[in-house]
Chain A
Amino acid sequence: MRFRRKERLEPRAPLGLKLAAIAGLLFLHVPLGFIILYAFNTDDKSFRFPPPGLTLKWFAVAWEREDIWESLGLSLRVATMATLIALILGTLAAAAIYRSRFFGREALSLLIILPIALPGIITGISLRSAFHLANIPFSFWTIVIGHATFCVVVVYNNVIARFRRTAYSQIEASMDLGANGFQTFRYVVLPNIATALLAGGMLAFALSFDEVIVTTLTAGQQSTLPIWMLTELVRPRQRPVTNVVAVFVIAVTFIPILMAYYLTRETHETAGPGR
């Protein structure tokens, strides 16, 4: 009786709730495990459990496939370009919304954020018909524009949150001490928003890298890596190669998201004082 967890202030969760939580997490993450497992499968036609044997040969096969390299190259170029556009436009938009008070400011802020809330299929269809109407042929750039719509949002959100925690008087102090607009941006604004830019950029990159819906509707004959995987899944040939690529995609998107998480978390703790 006397030792009944006196120090524990919060009530303990009942066993049923704990089991449900564990089951939920397993449901979310076990399929990922299977994807990785079947990348090593010796059977190339069907996925049986347990796999008849494990092999590394599919990594070698994937390495030899020209079409994978092409799709990967396209995906990386699209993601890089979309992220670059998002960094510039997102930062400028955030600066304008933070800096000035004008009629329709809140509405504009909502319009910038809207593409991420809008279903990808709507973004995709509307862009597709817009390109048609404007007689723009599908190309690398139409994919980039499609991706930039939602990439801008993540950068914008990250940067404006940082701006709101930054005292505007810092910018005035810099100007007061003799720094012109460019110097103030370089020495005061940029260091203040650097980690927000990095985090926003990484998230934007990850979002772009695994996007399927908007890409399907805005790409012509080219296929990005996710599109390549989608088409590969319906062909029952060398199926583990798809899994090998999936493992790669998990790595490429997971690492930046994790880093973005740690970067923004760290600045949450240090940005408070010193104002």
Chain B
Amino acid sequence: MVESEVPAVSFTNVHRHFGMVRAVDGVSFDIVDGEFFSILGPSGSGKTTCLRLIAGFDQPTAGRIMIHGQTTRGVPPYERDVNTVFQDYALFPHMTVMDNVAYGLMVKKVAKADQRRRALEMLEMVKLADMGGRKPAQLSGGQRQRVALARALINRPRVLLLDEPLGALDLKLRQQMQIELKALQRQVGITFIYVTHDQEEALIMSDRIAVFNVGRIEQIGTPGEIYERPATAFVAGFVGVSNLLTGEIAARITGSNTAFSVRPEKIRLAEPGNPAPEGSCTAEGEIHNVVYLGAASRYVVALDGGGELIVIEQNLNKSAAQVAASLGQRVRLAWDRRHNQPLADGEPGP
């Protein structure tokens, strides 16, 4: 077999139960070597447990985990070719930044001079070359995050695990770090497994996303697939905003009572009675809530005969005043039939 065909990490029917709680409940997936793979889900969905199973801090109750084709059974964390960036960074407070970064080399008894040189290289990569003498307590949150990253990369692992590493940063810094992390991953070319509960973050950075819910995988796919073609009601609700139509209301629009979702930005607002193009779904109703969002506006339309749809429309020609004035107006909604995404049964996401 060609090396690159072996998955970086492979889960086969993995379970991890804590007493009665099934934190990971029969999960299987393969992570391709070199990809940016995100594990996305709400808290308590088992995503961090999966990461801990890969790192070796926890053992599966059942199932098989392979890292680069090798079994992980009985292999302690310090013998696995993976490194972790912790949610709380877990920097050693009694060591300097330089010693923190060099730690992985120090415990492997690499020569002192090489330790220093490679630690400095890592610090340069994360743009902290002049901070080596400081203690972690003297750094800002963003700088600590970079130190944690440099420390985890110094052993040149084949897989890097990241446990919500940007969770503690403020929005601006988080957005900047998202771009830097993605660039860094391309630069070093190793597999990143990224745990997050932030769907936007997952969409921005990932090559593929696995959406987790109560210990199971709801869907695995590229950001485009996850967003455009959510497989379940949970995914449709958790990733972005979605309109969920079921039963009678679905039947009135499509003629079939199969549940489906449609994204709010796919729906157009028009005057009542306006003809819709061929292949469109239509519905009529009354706007009973409007929120002006700056670039776009969000309308909640109560449909005739029950149900409501959220519509997001760019403010191309409308002013804020016009948007506000549309409250209570009757409208016709139309969207391309192809944007309807039929859903498997399941609980809708939050």
Contact = CB atoms under 8 A, between A and B. Distances in A.
Contact of B90 (A170, A180, A183): A170
Given A187-B103, A187-B107, A270-B137, A176 B78 contact: yes
B91 A274 contact: yes
Interface in B35-76: 55-57, 76
Interface stretch (B81-89, B201-209, B304-312, B318-326): B81-89
B118 interface: no
A180 B94 CA distance: 19
Most chain A Cβ neighbours within 10 Å, of B76, B103, B108, B152? B103
Contacts of A176: 55, 57, 77-78, 82-84, 152
Given A176-B55, A178-B155, A187-B103, A170 B77 contact: no
A70 interface: no
A20 B314 CA distance: 77
A172 B57 contact: yes
B216 to A, nearest CB: 26
A24 B266 CA distance: 81
Contact of A175 (B76, B94, B136): B76
Nearest to A166: B93
**Binding site of B, secondary structure by majority: helix, strand, loop or mixed?**
loop
A192 B57 CA distance: 21
Contacts of A177: 78, 83, 103-104, 107, 151-152, 155
Given A172-B86, A274-B91, A179 B78 contact: yes
B136 A174 contact: no
A179 B107 contact: yes
A275 B86 CA distance: 11
Interface in A175-201: 175-180, 183, 187-188, 191-192
A135 interface: no
A169 interface: yes
Contacts of B92: 170, 173-174, 187-188, 191
Contacts of B57: 172, 175-176
Contacts of A107: none
A144 to B, nearest CB: 33
A183 B92 CA distance: 14
Interface in A140-170: 167, 169-170
Contacts of A273: 93, 136-137
17 contacts: A167-B90, A169-B86, A170-B91, A172-B57, A173-B86, A173-B90, A173-B92, A175-B57, A176-B83, A177-B107, A177-B151, A187-B92, A187-B106, A271-B93, A273-B137, A275-B88, A275-B93
Given A169-B88, A178-B104, 8 more contacts: A175-B78, A176-B77, A177-B78, A180-B76, A187-B106, A273-B93, A274-B137, A275-B89
Interface of A: 167, 169-170, 172-180, 183, 187-188, 191-192, 270-271, 273-275
Interface of B: 55-57, 76-78, 82-84, 86-94, 103-104, 106-108, 135-137, 151-152, 155
Top 3 closest A-B pairs, CB basis? Answer: A274-B93, A169-B90, A273-B137
